[in-house]
Structure 1
Amino acid sequence: MRYFELRCKAFVKKDIAFQASFELLSKYISFCMYQEGMGEVHQKEGFKYYVFGGLLPIEKDKIYKQGNLYSFTIRSLDETLIDTLSTTLRQNINNESLQVVEAHKKTISQFFITELYSATPVIVSVNNGKYWTMNESGDIVQLQKQLHENAEKKYQSFFGESLHVTNNFIQFIEIKNKVPQNILITKEGKSIRFFGNKFRIVPNEDEVSQKLAFVALACGVGEKNSYGAGFMLGRGIR
């Protein structure tokens, strides 16, 4: 099993607020897909099989400055998608806020994962259209169950095969934030906030758990990955 990533550099044409950056990158990526006839990937219901991390470094005042270069990473299980974006991201796209100037592809083979850390908020839906936080739910068992089911469904959907699951792939989960984190988007002129959390996750060591941990690293933990949610950093033995 492998995943593919693009390590990109973007030139910022005008100041960008941190809160606006996730939607900006999401729209930039989806526009590139439409340019190459891959718009159905972003439009279709279900999993998109990719995730991206935010612009780095984050400035102290959380404003990305005009004239500076910032990096971001896109990951996917789908090599065709990554190859397409590798070409289209660097084209002269008419975007008033930024321009991608570099996009280098890297292939990562499955390795033994000891820990996962969320670099962007992990989004998990609960009842009544709300999102999992300690205040809204606080049910850690339910959280682990939903994160596991999400990863398992991504695996089964992408690879077209079932796993013989005997236990949750998560051995231990630690909440790293004191207050909920959020990702802001606009839809039909209205602002929408997806609330989430930053986690440290220790996966189990069995073969199935390691496959699911790798899928989580490859295309994101939880929901709203195409908006940049659930982008993970991994530690382990390569």
Structure 2
Amino acid sequence: MLVFEYQCKLKFLKSINHKTIAEKINYFLDSVLAKDQEFLQYHENKGYKYYVTDAPWPIEKDGIYKEGKVYTLRIRTVKQELAEFFSEKLYAHTSKELLGIGGKLRIIPKKHIEELYSITPIVVKTDEGYWRGNMTVPEFEKIIKINLIKKYKQFMGQNISEDILLYDVMKFNNRVPIKVSYKNINLLGDKLSFRISNEQLSQELAYFALGVGLGCNNARGLGFVNYKYL
């Protein structure tokens, strides 16, 4: 299992507020998937998508992506055919606001991961909405871990224990919940850091998380994590 990263160069055809950028990126990617019958079915499938995106960078100080400027969007996946599809088809692909002008496809090296930290908020789904006030921190941690393990088991086709110690320390990097606009509602998420366990399977899961994200709605730009090697 390898994690592929496509660094897509995007030219902005219109200025866009960072608060609405996720929906513009989602449409841009969804519309290119829709051009291929196989990937259209893949997109419409309600199962795990096995890819995750961050927000275009650099982010402007005033929060407005500027018309005419070029930014970079990172798309990561553990599906090689999907990475190659994006790297080929996003070139010259356009929407009303965005134009793909190229990019770089690479494999993220497999090295010992000391820490994972979220670039975009991690969101977990509960029947009560945002988790704080409805569950304990250990319960919240368990949801994140079990969600990742379920993705791994389905993708790899093998069963592993859900009792694994994925990390030794988890830290919140935000004081208040972070609002994320999604389908005309606001989801609430958190930015977190994890000091990853040295166990081999823990390291494998941490590497896998780089390509699929943590929490929910990863293909919608949530739960994108970056890494620090030992």
TM-score under structure 2 length normalisation: 0.94
Amino acid corresponding to residue 182 of structure 1 in structure 2: K
SS at the partner of 1:35? coil
Partner of residue 36, structure 1: 36
State the 1:185 CA deviation: 2.5
The residue aligned with 2:121 is: 121
Q: Tell me which of 165, 188, 204 is aligned to 1:211.
A: 204
**2:17 — aligned with what?**
17
CA offset digits 1:183-206 (Å, max 9, x no partner): 2123xxxx1222100001112111
Do 2:146 and 2:162's aligned partners in 1 also have CA atoms closer than 8 Å?
no
Secondary structure at the aligned position of 1:235 is classed as strand
Matched, 1:184 2:173: no
Deviation at 1:138, TM superposition (A): 5.8
Counterpart residue number, 2:83: 82
Equivalent residue runs for 1:31-70 within 5 Å: 31-37=31-37, 38-70=39-71
SS at match of 2:108: strand
| Contact persistence 1:165–1:208 (CA under 8 A) | no
Q: What's the CA shift for 1:165?
A: 4.7
Q: Indicate how the Cα distance of structure 1 residues 120 and 109 shifts in structure 2: closer, same or farther if over 3 A, else same.
A: same
**TM-score relative to the length of structure 1:** 0.91
Deviation at 1:52?
0.4
Give unmatched runs, 5+ long, in structure 2. none
Decide whether the 8 Å contact of 1:36 with 1:84 is kept in 2: no
Selected match of 1:197 from 183, 190, 201: 190
Hey, what's the Cα distance between the residues in 2 that align with 1:180 and 1:138?
Answer: 15
- Residues in 1 aligned to 2:150 and 2:111: alpha-carbon distance in whole angstroms: 21
CA contact (8 A) 1:145 1:168 kept: no
Instruction: Tell me the secondary structure at the aligned position of residue 48 of structure 1.
Output: coil
Instruction: Using the TM superposition, give the Cα deviation of residue 137 of structure 1 relative to its aligned residue in structure 2, in angstroms.
Output: 3.6
User: Would the aligned equivalents of 1:123 and 1:196 in 2 still touch at CA under 8 Å?
Assistant: yes
Task: Name the CA distance, whole Å, in 2 between partners of 1:171 and 1:125.
Answer: 24
Would the aligned equivalents of 2:12 and 2:99 in 1 still touch at CA under 8 Å? yes
RMSD: 1.4
CA distance in 1: counterparts of 2:157 and 2:17, whole angstroms:
40
Q: Confirm whether residue 148 of structure 1 aligns to residue 145 of structure 2.
A: yes
The answer for the alignment partner of 2:72 in structure 1 is: 71
Aligned mates of 1:92, 1:164 — CA distance in 2: 42
Mapped to 2, the partners of 1:206 and 1:236 lie a distance apart of 15
Whole-angstrom distance in 2 between the partners of 1:76 and 1:2 = 9
Q: State, as a whole percentage, how many aligned pairs show the same letter.
A: 29
Instruction: Give the whole-Å Cα distance in 2 for the aligned partners of 1:207 and 1:173.
Output: 19
Matched positions, count: 229
Secondary structure of 1:104's counterpart equals: strand
Instruction: Tell me the amino acid that sits aligned with residue 97 of structure 2.
Output: S
